[in-house]
Every structure is written in structure tokens, then in C-alpha cells.
Amino acid sequence: MGRKPLTTEQRDAMRARILDAARKQFLKGGLNDLSMRDIASNVGISAMTIYLYFRNRQAIVFALIREGLDKLRDEMYRFTEIEDPMERLIRMGEAYVGFAFENPQYYRALTETIPHNGRDRDRRAEHAKLLDDVSAMVKPILQTVGELTGSRKSREATNETLVLWCVLHGFVSLALNDRLRFLRASDDDLRQQLRRMVPRMLTVRRD
Amino acid sequence: MGRKPLTTEQRDAMRARILDAARKQFLKGGLNDLSMRDIASNVGISAMTIYLYFRNRQAIVFALIREGLDKLRDEMYRFTEIEDPMERLIRMGEAYVGFAFENPQYYRALTETIPHNGRDRDRRAEHAKLLDDVSAMVKPILQTVGELTGSRKSREATNETLVLWCVLHGFVSLALNDRLRFLRASDDDLRQQLRRMVPRMLTVRRD
DNA sequence: CAACATTTTTTTACAGCGTAAACAATGGGA
DNA sequence: TCCCATTGTTTACGCTGTAAAAAAATGTTG
């Protein structure tokens, strides 16, 4: 007896509505401007109701970061079918940079969220898993670089991938956070410059 | 008539005490854990008294970022006297990475603070100037790269510097934010690996 | 129907935040 | 002593995340 619990569909629908409102807010003003009360008000529910669908604010943040991760991976994996490893690599690099420029909030959340070091073991584990997954998004690049350097030397492929990822991320990170002012270049100029850099990084490395 | 204003020394002393407390808090928990009330309580004054010495919280944040910038520049400029440009560059790169690993909070504040886009023109200008200065910290590297590539082609030197800075920052940023988990390497391993990367990046580029 | 059990939602409350405004203390010149 | 500019504190406002209590909604049973 008693009131029946919500169906899975109902729960998922409400979660989606909450996440939609959260995403809207997040894409506009970043994680800092994401408040439980604003989300609730946009959904049309009271603030505490959110806690029936998400454990807390960080659960929402994590969900958004996972979204960003999925989106970025999709846009990179789109090119896994290209046969020529060099071209595949270039396309993936461009996709990576393109994603970052078009989704700066997602990219910042993906790369700048600070690891959690609280007492709560579950929380730590959850955060660790998220960081593992973010870190692992470089795998298709790693595999492609492996094809380029010869699959035997996996250590070398790892090193080359590290360099490449650092260039890509460093560039994007500095550009998004407006730390490339000394160049006095537009975003388009920068992206074009980087496009020339990616193949050079690896053509150089091939010999 | 009226009470005499504090001497410059008195004002500076109090500013320093406030900044000391702020720095202590900041180095421990980053910018997010920096609260006016905690600073005040540590100095032994009331929260609002801080506002007699700093316009607001962001003025304190900016002061801390400027500290970090000065510190980082000092540690890089220490090697400007080295004659061999290649060695000078390597030392500067190591100093850059060393600073970041030993002062993660400073480094994050230096590179991840989000540009201000409010209505206040003075605030925007102040932030823009800070970002200009952070961006300009790459100049000694730029100049050294210029010596290596031949001073005529300043455009090429700029490009090479950009790549190098991106590698350095990208590496540091990913490492500090724990996004290099796929490597399963310790901080020391990572730094050693980077040390091998820096000269290679440029020896490659010399020919 | 009323009574009850159970789940969902809201209301209320607390501790924290940055900071504007009002107030109190200080100390030198008239 | 009174005045008044300067320094410092107290109070208050509107935010924040979320714990706890109260309320509402919705089903089953007598």
C-alpha cells in the first residue's frame, strides 16, 4: 500500500529536464554560474526537489562533464575509419581543437575541474573514474600514432602522443583563457597556425 | 583638522598582513577557498576592514596572481645570462615547469583565471592588463628562440615559441589537473620525460 | 467513503559567502 | 571642548548548497 514510486521513465524524464536547465545555464556562464536555485526555477520546481534526482550539485556537474566527454569523443571517433593514419591524425586533432573552440565551457570543465580530495571514499572514487575516462579519451590518437611510429615501440608511441596532446591542449587552453595576447592574432588565425603545426609535429617525428 | 590618515608605511604594512593571510589560505586551498571572512579572522580584524585596503576580493586575487607572475619571471630570468641559447632555453623551460609543479595554485591562478566581461570598464581594463602581462611572460623564451632560428625571421621565432609554450603549458596543465592518468606515471617520471622533450622540440627545429 | 501508508515535493532553516550601509571609535586642530 | 576627517566594526541584504521538518499527493485497505 501507499503511493507508487515513479516509473523509470518518469524519473529519467525529470532528470533530463533538470539536466537541460543545468546545461543551458552552464553553457552560458560556466560552472561557476550554475546554481541549484536557478536550475530549479527554470524547471519550475523547488530547489530541494533536485536532490530527489541528483545526489548533490557535483552529481550534476559530473553529468555535464560526461556529456562533454561523450561529445568530444564522438567528434574524434568520427574519423577512425580514415585509412591513412596521418590524415586521420590531422582530422582528429582538428576535431579536438574545433570542439574546444566551439564548446569552451565543456572543454574547461573537462580539463580544469579540480580533483576531489575529501574524506568521502565513494566521492573520490567517482571523481577518479571520471578523470580516468577523460584521460583515456586520447586513446584513438595514441593508436593512430602507434600506426605511424610502428606498432612495436609502444613506449615511443606513448611519448609522441603525449607531446601531441600537450601541444593541442596547451594551445587550446591558452587560447580559451586568453593567454595568447602577445600574438595579437584572431582565433581563426590561431587555429590556422595550429593546423600547420599538427602535421609538422609528426612528420618531423616520423624519421 | 580631523584624524590624520595613516602613513604610507602603515597602509603598506596592513596591506602586507592582509596579503600574507590571503596567500596562506590561497596556497593551501586555491582561489576557491579564499574567503574575506577567513582572511580577516586570521589577520585579527573585521571582514569589512579589508575593504579599506583592497577594493574587493578580486583586487586581492589579482595581487596574488601578480605575485605568482613575478615569482615565475624571476625564476626564468635567472638564466638570461647564459650565453648558449640552447642551454638557456632548456634551463628556462625547466624553470617554467619547476615553478608550476612547486606552485600549482599560483600556476593555476596564472593560467586559468577567467577573463572578466562585466560592465565596469576599469575592471575590464585592469584584467586585460594582467592578461597582457601574463601573456608577455613568454618574451625571454621568444627572444632566445629568435637567437636560435636566426633573428631575421621573427615570424618563425614566434611560431616556434608558440609551439614550445603550448607543449610546456599543455604538459603542466594536464599534469597538475591529473589528466595524464593514462600514462600511469609519477610526477617525477613525467618531469623527466618532459626534460627530454624540450631540447628535442628545438633541436628538431634548428635544421 | 474515511483511514492509513508511502512516496514525492515544498517549506523552513542553517551556515557560509561578498559587500553596501550605518554606526562607533579615534585623534588632531579650532 | 567641540568639530570633523579618517579608521574600524556592526549590522544587514541577497546570494550559495543542502539538512531537516512539514506538507502534499497518491495509492491501498477497512
Residue found under cell 631575421: B152
pLDDT at B156 over 90: no
- Rounded to whole angstroms, the distance from the CA of residue A22 to the C1' of nucleotide C22 is 39
Domain-wise residue ranges, chain B? 7-54, 61-206
Q: Which amino acid is at B61?
A: V
What confidence score (pLDDT) does residue A183 get?
86
A19 CB within 8 Å of a chain B CB: no
- Which tops the pLDDT comparison, B151 or A66? A66
pLDDT at A199 over 80: no
CB contact under 8 A, B131 and A163: no
Architecture of domain B61-206: Orthogonal Bundle (1.10)
B7 touches strand C (CB under 7 A): no
User: What is the CATH number that goes with domain B7-54?
Assistant: 1.10.10.60
Which nucleotides in chain C lie less than 7 Å from some protein C-beta?
A: 4-12, 16-22, 25-30
Cα–Cα distance, A157 to A181 (Å, whole number): 33
Cα–Cα distance, A203 to B36 (Å, whole number): 52
Q: Could you give the 3-state DSSP secondary structure of residue B179?
A: coil
CB contact under 8 A, A166 and B174: yes
Q: Which residues of A114-148 are buried (b: 16+ CB within 10 A; e: fewer)?
A: eeeeeeeeebeebbeebbebbbebbebbbbbbbeb
- Rounded to whole angstroms, the distance from the CA of residue B105 to the C1' of nucleotide D9 is 32
pLDDT at B177 over 70: yes
Q: What does the pLDDT average to over B177-200?
A: 82
CB contact under 8 A, A177 and B30: no
What confidence score (pLDDT) does residue A151 get?
59
Instruction: Report chain B residues whose CB lies below 8 A from the CB of A30.
Output: 114
CATH fold for domain A8-54: Arc Repressor Mutant, subunit A (1.10.10)
CB B195, CB B94: distance < 8 Å: yes
Q: What does the pLDDT average to over A32-58?
A: 97
pLDDT at A18 over 90: yes
CATH fold for domain A58-206: Tetracycline Repressor; domain 2 (1.10.357)
CB B58, CB B93: distance < 8 Å: no
What confidence score (pLDDT) does residue B206 get?
42
Cα–Cα distance, A89 to A80 (Å, whole number): 9
Cα–Cα distance, A166 to B200 (Å, whole number): 15
* B21 to chain A, closest Cα gap in Å: 23
Q: What does the pLDDT average to over B34-59?
A: 97
Residue found under cell 575592471: B123
Cα–Cα distance, A34 to A24 (Å, whole number): 9
Same-fold call for B7-54 versus B61-206: no
